[in-house]
Structure 1
């Protein structure tokens, strides 16, 4: 499997560590930078390229995932999610890394290089890369709703429970308790 990586200066140490770790574990690592430490670099330059690499590979039918890394991982996640066809999730635990794949079929994971020790973040990436999408109908449906919105701007229909309004017996029961 090919794994595209991008970071900023705050994620450079982890990215460099992951490049070796990935190769040692049989992955093909693609480094989108940065390649040197620059405290003034901008994460979108590198994270957008990593996400575009994943999207291009997937369009060609290749098995590909991505990892974006910054100080918190928040901006890097936002950047990756700007790329069409990318679902990037922020992972801060093994559970969130697994759920990103199992429930959301995320194809890029974001981690915060200043949030956890390198060993923990490596484990989050390992869990993400080794977890499959569950394919459960509810998750497929939800991802479909997001895809429809991306394509058309059409909001998903509200569930029946949201249409009842505040004057229903159910809402009175909750407020009277």
Structure 2
């Protein structure tokens, strides 16, 4: 599996660590930068490239995934989610990493390089990469609603229960 990585200066050490870890575990890692420490670099430059690569390869039928890393992971997740076809999830535990894949079929994981020990963040990435999407109908339906909105900008219809219909009385 190919894994695309992007970060900012705060995530550089973890990204460099993950490049080696991924290779040691049989993954093909693609580094979208940064390649040197620059305390004022801009995370969108690198995270958008990693996310674009994931989206392009998945559109071609590949099972590529991505990892974006920053100080908190928030900005990096936001950047990745601007790419059509990307579902990036900020994770802070093994459980959130697993749920991102099982329920949301996330294809990019975001972690905060300043918020967790290296071993924990590596484990979050490992759980994310090894957890399959459940394929449950409710999750497929929800992801489908997001995909339609992403391309049409049309909101999904409100359920009867939200309109005061029969389910609202139950």
TM-score, with structure 1 as normaliser: 0.92
1:18 is aligned to 18
Counterparts of 2:59 and 2:155, CA distance in 1: 26
Equivalent residue runs for 1:111-130 within 5 Å? 111-130=111-130
Instruction: Give the aligned partner of residue 160 of structure 1.
Output: 160
How many aligned residue pairs are there? 168
* 2:150 paired residue number: 150
Which residue number in structure 1 is paired with residue 55 of structure 2?
Answer: 55
Counterparts of 1:28-177 in structure 2 under 5 Å?
A: 28-164=28-164
* 1:150-174 Cα deviation digits (max 9, x unpaired): 1111111112221118xx766xxxx
Q: 2: distance between equivalents of 1:63 and 1:146?
A: 20
Question: Alpha carbon RMSD of aligned pairs, Å?
Answer: 1.2
Q: Deviations over 1:120-151 (max 9, x none)?
A: 00000000000000000000000011011111
3-state SS, counterpart of residue 36 of structure 2:
coil
- Aligned to 1:161, the other structure's residue is in SS state helix
Bigger Cα displacement from structure 2, 111-120 vs 151-160: 151-160
1:83–1:169 distance in 2 versus 1, CA, 3 Å: closer
Which structure 1 residue ranges, 5 or more long, are not aligned?
171-177
The structure with the largest alpha-carbon Rg is: 1
Q: Gaps (5+ residues) in structure 2? A: none
Q: Under a length normalisation based on structure 2, what TM-score does the superposition of the two structures give?
A: 0.96
CA distance in 2, matches of 1:54, 1:30: 10
